Amino acid sequence: MFNGNILRDAIISAANNIANQQKMVDDLNIFPVPDGDTGTNMSMTLSNAARELSRVEGEGAGKVASVTASALLRGARGNSGVITSLLFRGFANGFKGFDNVEPENLKNAFALGVEAAYKAVMKPTEGTILTVARVASEYATEAFEKGLDTLGVFEAALEGANKALAETPELLPVLKKAGVVDAGGKGFVIILEGMLSVFKNGVIIASGNAPATENDTESESAMSAAAEFDGEITFTYCTEFIVNRDSSVTKEPAELRAYLESIGDCVVVVDDDEIIKVHVHTDHPGNAIENALTFGQLVHLKIENMRDQHERAKHDSQNAAKKPAQNSTRTETFTPAEKTNPVGFVSVCAGDGLEALFKDLGVDTLVSGGQTMNPSTDNILRAIESTPAETVFVLPNNKNIIMAAEQAIPLSTRKVIVIHSRTIPQGIAAMLAFDPDDADDKNAIAMAEACERIATGSITFAARDSDFDGHKIKKGELLCMNNGKIVFTDTDLEKSVARLVKNMLKRDSEFLTVIYGEDVTDEQARSIEADLNAKYGDKVEITVIRGGQPIYYFFLSVE
Mean pLDDT in residue range 97-121: 92
On whether both 48 and 175 belong to a single domain, the answer is: yes
Position 546 scores a pLDDT of 94
Mean pLDDT in residue range 303-314: 58
Residue 330 within any structural domain of the chain? no
Residue 221 within any structural domain of the chain? no
Final residue before a domain boundary, out of 389, 422, 453: 453
Position 34 scores a pLDDT of 54
On whether both 27 and 129 belong to a single domain, the answer is: yes
Position 78 scores a pLDDT of 81
Final residue before a domain boundary, out of 288, 319, 350: 319
On whether both 161 and 21 belong to a single domain, the answer is: yes
Name the pLDDT band for 80 (thresholds 50, 70, 90).
confident
Residue 113 within any structural domain of the chain? yes
Bridge-partner residues for 275, per DSSP? 244
Position 232 scores a pLDDT of 46
pTM equals 0.68
Residues 6+ apart with CB under 8 A from 473: 32, 462, 465, 466, 467, 479, 486, 489
Domain containing 369 — which CATH number?
A: 3.40.50.510
Instruction: Return the closest-CA partner of residue 185 out of 169, 153, 205, 161.
Output: 161
Final residue before a domain boundary, out of 184, 201, 218: 201
Name the pLDDT band for 451 (thresholds 50, 70, 90).
very high
On whether both 513 and 429 belong to a single domain, the answer is: no
Which DSSP string corresponds to 135-194? Answer: HHHHHHHHHHHTT--HHHHHHHHHHHHHHHHHHHHHH-HHHHHHT---HHHHHHHHHHHH
**Model confidence over 180-228: pLDDT tens digits?**
899 999 999 999 999 999 999 999 998 874 433 443 333 333 333 233 3
Range of 132's domain? Answer: 2-201
**Model confidence over 129-162: pLDDT tens digits?**
999 999 999 999 999 999 999 999 999 999 999 9
Residue 325 within any structural domain of the chain? no
On whether both 364 and 312 belong to a single domain, the answer is: no
153 conformational bin, left if phi > 0, alpha if psi -120 to 50, beta if neither:
alpha
Position 35 scores a pLDDT of 53
On whether both 345 and 410 belong to a single domain, the answer is: yes
**Model confidence over 537-546: pLDDT tens digits?**
999 999 999 9
The Cα 45–Cα 184 span in angstroms is 13
On whether both 411 and 280 belong to a single domain, the answer is: no
Is the pLDDT at 432 greater than 90, yes or no? Answer: yes
**Model confidence over 216-261: pLDDT tens digits?**
333 333 333 233 333 445 677 878 788 888 889 989 888 998 898 8
On whether both 486 and 380 belong to a single domain, the answer is: no
CA 370 to chain centre: 10
Instruction: Return the closest-CA partner of residue 61 out of 18, 111, 104, 119.
Output: 104
Average pLDDT taken over every residue of the chain? 84
- The percentage of the chain sitting over the pLDDT mark of 70, rounded to a whole number, equals 86
On whether both 140 and 16 belong to a single domain, the answer is: yes
Residue 215 within any structural domain of the chain? no
Domain containing 67 — which CATH number?
A: 1.25.40.340
Position 33 scores a pLDDT of 59
Is the pLDDT at 315 greater than 70, yes or no? Answer: no
Position 521 scores a pLDDT of 93
Answer positive or negative: Cα dihedral of 124, 129, 135, 140: negative
Name the pLDDT band for 104 (thresholds 50, 70, 90).
very high
Is the pLDDT at 36 greater than 70, yes or no? Answer: no
Which regions of 188-273 does DSSP assign to beta strands (E)? 237-245, 264-271
Residue 30 within any structural domain of the chain? yes
Determine phi and psi for 394, rounding to 5 degrees: -115, 130
**Model confidence over 48-73: pLDDT tens digits?**
899 899 888 999 999 999 999 988 98
Position 306 scores a pLDDT of 66
On whether both 297 and 351 belong to a single domain, the answer is: no
Residue 154 within any structural domain of the chain? yes
**Model confidence over 318-358: pLDDT tens digits?**
443 333 333 322 234 456 889 999 999 999 999 999 999 99
CA triple 539-537-521, angle to 5 deg: 135
Domain containing 537 — which CATH number?
A: 3.30.1180
Domain containing 248 — which CATH number?
A: 3.30.70.980
Domain count, the chain: 4
Bridge-partner residues for 457, per DSSP? 482, 556
Residue 332 within any structural domain of the chain? no
On whether both 444 and 468 belong to a single domain, the answer is: no
Position 325 scores a pLDDT of 35
Answer positive or negative: Cα dihedral of 251, 255, 257, 263: negative
**Model confidence over 349-382: pLDDT tens digits?**
999 999 999 999 999 999 988 766 788 898 999 9
**Model confidence over 452-489: pLDDT tens digits?**
999 999 998 887 776 666 667 788 889 899 988 888 98
Instruction: Return the closest-CA partner of residue 185 out of 329, 87, 267, 97.
Output: 87
Name the pLDDT band for 383 (thresholds 50, 70, 90).
very high
On whether both 39 and 180 belong to a single domain, the answer is: yes
